[in-house]
Amino acid sequence: MIHFNYENDFSLSNEGRLSTWLISVISAENCSISEINYIFCDDDYLHKLNVEFLEHDTLTDVIGFDYSVGKQLEGDIFISTERVADNAKDLEVSFNDELCRVMVHGLLHFCGYKDKTSEEAKEMRAKEDSYLKALV
């Protein structure tokens, strides 16, 4: 089950559609879902988590806490809608496109994908692009 939670004044208008899409990504990656919580928040909220849990004193758009066991996915994905908006502007893409990219990015980490090296990042971006095309 996928849950959407809001710690700021943001809310999704298409939760059902996005949930169906994210579940299809999980299935395509040969994983199953236990419970995934998306928590939408502001920069301050996510920055505090970044400092407290990851010891990174920087702003970020997404942080995932993965409690998965094998291919049974479970975890919390925190997304700063402020950071997504700024990134969308910088990348000259729509807010919704960037938001969906960040949502699937967090989920792909739970599926086992990494993005620390340039090769890993390239593979992650290709997966994101592929799944974003399926959403349209």
What pLDDT, in 10s, does the model give residues 24-36? 999 999 999 999 9
pLDDT tens for residues 35-90? 999 999 999 999 999 898 888 888 889 999 999 999 999 999 999 999 999 999 99
Q: Report the alpha-carbon distance of residue 13 to residue 49 in Å, rounded.
A: 26
Residue 18 sits at φ, ψ, to 5 deg, of -70, -40
Quick one: CATH architecture of 2-135? 3-Layer(aba) Sandwich (3.40)
| Residue 109 is assigned to a ligand binding site | yes
Q: Are strands 32-41 and 62-66 parallel, antiparallel or unpaired?
A: unpaired
- % of the chain exceeding 90 in pLDDT: 90
Model pLDDT, residue 58: 84
| Residue 115 is assigned to a ligand binding site | yes
Burial class (CB in 10 A: 0-12, 13-18, 19+), 61: buried
The angle formed by the CA atoms of residues 41, 57 and 116, to the nearest 5 degrees, is 90
Flag whether the pTM goes above 0.85: yes
Q: Report the alpha-carbon distance of residue 131 to residue 39 in Å, rounded.
A: 21
Residue from 126, 123, 68, 76 nearest 103 by CA: 76
